[in-house]
Structure 1
Amino acid sequence: MRRMAPGTLVDGFVVGECLHAGGMAHIYQVGYADALHSAPFPMVMKVPRMTPGDGAENIVGFEVELQLLSVLTGPHVPRLVASGDLEKLPYLVMEYVLGRTLQQLLDETAAPMPAEEIARVGAAVAQAVHSLHLQDACHLDLKPANVLLRPDGIAVLLDFGLSCHAHYPDLLAEELRPAVGSPSWMAPEQVVGVRGDPRSDIFAIGVMLYELATRSLPFGNPQTRGGLRQRLWMDPVPPRALRPDLPEWLQEVILHCLQNEADRRYASAAHLALDLSDPAQIAVTALGRRLQATGFWVHFRRWWRAAGKDYQPSPLPSRQIDAAPIIMVAVPYRDVSDATLYSLRRAVTRVLGTTLRARLACVTVIDPAETPGHDSDTSETTVHRRYLGMLRQWAQPLQLDTQTMSFHVIESGDVAQALLHYAQGNHVSMIVMGAATHGLQMQRLLATVPIKVAMAAPCTVILVKQALPFDQLAGADQRAVL
């Protein structure tokens, strides 16, 4: 199909200038032909290429994107306005999202991005991807050109032509048997034809973080099936070997995303976003300290396992997310009784016993008055460090792996709102808190905090009644004496 000229009328839309001419589609500015009909937001028209030399994936991708955009909702995907008849002129009219793609950010400068900026961008992308997974969809073609950052920092995902939705037929798997995707960003399981695993998108986020940090691709740009298959057993060069100033915590995150086996990556994009939103609490392991790639014999053993591995279809993305929830426990920071601390710990133990892949976020909300001014001998960092130490001490009897647990000190004068904001922003699945939470002396003033949280929380809330087994033992001893 030839490129449309500005002013062309298509089904009540007037075509503007061509914004992008890609290998699979052309994108035009578009508006309503009827001047009395004003658009609520800027719009673009996406028209698939259909010249004799173009492959069938262009039309199949158009059908897939129409299918996905028709059902996906939320701020992380463009809004669909209209679509054209495949027999006449296939097109998609959708929201034109203002912002810059990650590819544009990469093209603007040759210098690697600062670690804190990488974390901010990565957290935004992970939040967007998690929103997609909650709707039982996987993108499967995440790359810098398909991720747009709005001026407010929210990430929007673009180009769903290679995606799949668990509730609809996977047209690409049915009509195009070979693995499809962008070679540099494809996950190992995609290479062997497995589609629909949300952790494939986590792998792609890891590739993008690697590129933002080092300005190189972890697995290059292979063009053959043999080159693609190498990622089933080979590790990339550690980012810190290419950029020594990179923090260990960022390499820990990147290499965690790029694990060969999906089970060894982050269990969900929400877990990844939680780490990148608060890098100070990331537990650094040998992965983050590594400076050399793994050796030949490690790769050989992985190659041997991969040669005969039977990859199974993935369960529903939302079901995988349900199996890896984020559990938040609200721990009071002062004037708290032993009974409350013990009861919270016991309740958390019971919850974690039923969800083996859960992530525990231990949160305490401190009064801003506790934070000293600039002229104080005690710095803000020291205050936060003290309360982080108290959280770690409370959690020590749980005996959890440091990578499945994190600690967060929030400064706010409104305890309930702070807890609700944290739960909403981090996709928390369950909140565990005391029925009377914030101190023996303050209960009368703040007794409504648990009720506020329970009424407005976006997830399940467990209110724990305080009790100590020692009180029961003491009562039993007294009855025995009588």
Structure 2
Amino acid sequence: MQRLETGTVIDGFELARKLPSGGMAALWRATKPGLDLPAILKIPFFDPGQDASGIIGYEVEELILKRLSGPHVPRFLGSGDLMKIPYIAMEFVEGESLADIVGKAPLPADEVAGIGIKIATALAALHRQKVAHLDLKPENIILTGRGAVLLDFGLSRHAELPDLLGEESSVPMGTAAYISPEQVLGERTDTASDLFALGCILYQLATGEEPFGRPATFAGMKRRLYHAPKRPREINGGVPRWLDEIIQRCMEVDRSKRYAEASHVLSDLRNPDQVVVSRRRSERRAGFWAALTGLFGKRDDRSLVGRARIESRHAGASIVLAGVDLSNGRDALSDAVLDETARALATREGSWLACVTVLKTEIVGQTSLGDENGQSIYLKRLVALKDWAHPLHLPEDRISYHVLEAVSPADAILTYAEHNDVGHIIVGARGSSAIRRHLGSVSTKIVAEALCSVSVVRIKAVEEQNRDGASTVRMA
């Protein structure tokens, strides 16, 4: 990778000054001839051995940010090649970070409401564009003359794009202090999750305290399903009842009781005299018996959060999974799998494609995640997978790419298929010697255990390929 320093030029952008950065990416102020606004380059760290979520998050942000518009998001200016210098170029937003303002809390009610109005306005605009942010926190909000500007869409979800993060994992994704109950349970489909985070932010601004702290474990995050924080008025008696009510309604665990839209929060913040103050029963999730039930009683966590008002775009859609072995590059079998994939998509109108390849890891010992040149094997395999699928010419909203790291390729594909309710699987199986014993067992296991139909593409011995070609066996 090209060395990054002041004066380095990347696709016409000249790096001017390095900014304080996190552990996932470097941030650089940049200029470009003819560009009429300040720019920033976000350059992710893709070191061998780094968690693959960094690469996926980069792809998510690039896919979503370039589709967003309006004053409440930074303007997208371009992005870089994964195998050269990956970057996202965007407008540099000048203003005051909400993280700095939070440090001055508790704030007067009118200031809290004023900030809430700006954030709710930004969320309403974002949600109209079919995006749930899913990592709303003070560090990702800049207050400017044009209102609140939302940053960092690496964990976000676009309702009309494949959910790259959610498809590979069901673990909680978000910042522990602000993550919603449904996100704790692995759900990433509802814009109401952002309203919960907004409630946590308003709580912090009004009281100077985080309602749930910063738990470091899954069990710690899950406590918010059963244990309500103190009401804001119990911590700061200067919080008016109407603001206390708005904050608590944002933070309802049951989404049927939470605000339905950001515009509803906005309306109440603008018209506090119209807020209906309810008599809330504090024993809902607090008190001795609730705590005892939470610890020892049988419970259905998902029933507590209720149903999402916005379902996944893929609900009811046909998902085709193409499992392709690219460990030795493209070959006749991978081309045959591609041909079968094209046929399957042609017969399944409205379906979308999940391209999957497995990066095999070792049971014992440390698996090397870098090649002889120090490049990420994961990243190289991801690029190879995209190159493999390129001849299908599918739009971005109908295809996703997944490099799964696993000891067993068959188990990885089966787990992915079950987690994402895949409707059909296409895999290849070779027809010769030791390779067949290894890869053939993959297809056999998938056929035996898959919960959907499977097409197995077979290639005869290498010396017979040119004469006999490929055959496809379909199993229901």
- Please report the TM-score for the alignment, with normalisation by the length of structure 2: 0.61
| Match among 284, 288, 303 for residue 296 of structure 1 | 288
1:179 and 1:3 mapped to 2: Cα distance?
35
2:122 and 2:8 mapped to 1: Cα distance?
35
Deviations 1:55-96 (A, max 9, x none): 211111110001111111111111101100111111000011
Sequence identity of aligned pairs in percent? Answer: 42
Aligned length: 311
3-state SS in 1 of match to 2:20: strand
Deviations 1:148-204 (A, max 9, x none): 11134x111100000011100000012233221111110000011111211100000
| Match among 202, 218, 222 for residue 225 of structure 1 | 218
1:104 and 1:116 mapped to 2: Cα distance?
18
The answer to whether the 8 Å contact 1:257/1:266 transfers is yes
2:102 and 2:172 mapped to 1: Cα distance?
27
3-state SS in 2 of match to 1:162: coil
1:16 and 1:69 mapped to 2: Cα distance?
23
In structure 2, relative to structure 1, the CA distance for the partners of 1:155 and 1:178 (3 Å cut) is same
Query: Following TM superposition, by how much is the alpha carbon of 1:49 offset from its aligned partner in structure 2, in angstroms?
Result: 1.7
3-state SS in 1 of match to 2:277: coil
| Match among 177, 182, 196 for residue 203 of structure 1 | 196
Query: Following TM superposition, by how much is the alpha carbon of 1:280 offset from its aligned partner in structure 2, in angstroms?
Result: 2.3
Q: Hey, what does 1:79 align to over in structure 2?
A: 75
Query: Following TM superposition, by how much is the alpha carbon of 1:307 offset from its aligned partner in structure 2, in angstroms?
Result: 3.5
Q: Hey, what does 1:284 align to over in structure 2?
A: 277
- Please report the TM-score for the alignment, with normalisation by the length of structure 1: 0.61
Q: Where does structure 2 lack aligned partners over 5 or more consecutive residues?
A: 314-476
The answer to whether the 8 Å contact 1:238/1:291 transfers is no
Query: Any residues of structure 2 matched to 1:32-181 within 5 Å, and which?
Result: 32=32, 37-52=33-48, 54-107=50-103, 109=104, 111-152=105-146, 154-181=147-174
Query: Any residues of structure 2 matched to 1:406-421 within 5 Å, and which?
Result: none
The answer to whether the 8 Å contact 1:84/1:92 transfers is yes
3-state SS in 1 of match to 2:200: helix
Q: Hey, what does 1:185 align to over in structure 2?
A: 178
Q: Where does structure 1 lack aligned partners over 5 or more consecutive residues?
A: 320-482
Q: Hey, what does 2:352 align to over in structure 1?
A: none
3-state SS in 2 of match to 1:127: helix
The answer to whether the 8 Å contact 2:78/2:89 transfers is yes
2:312 and 2:173 mapped to 1: Cα distance?
23
**Deviation >4 Å, runs of 4+:** 289-293, 299-306, 310-313
3-state SS in 2 of match to 1:181: coil
The answer to whether the 8 Å contact 2:170/2:187 transfers is no
2:298 and 2:224 mapped to 1: Cα distance?
13
Query: Following TM superposition, by how much is the alpha carbon of 1:17 offset from its aligned partner in structure 2, in angstroms?
Result: 1.0
1:318 and 1:169 mapped to 2: Cα distance?
9
**1:9 and 2:1 matched:** no
The answer to whether the 8 Å contact 1:232/1:302 transfers is no
Query: Following TM superposition, by how much is the alpha carbon of 1:135 offset from its aligned partner in structure 2, in angstroms?
Result: 1.3
Amino acid across the alignment from 1:73: S
| Match among 302, 311, 318 for residue 309 of structure 1 | 302
In structure 2, relative to structure 1, the CA distance for the partners of 1:76 and 1:306 (3 Å cut) is farther
Q: Hey, what does 1:460 align to over in structure 2?
A: none
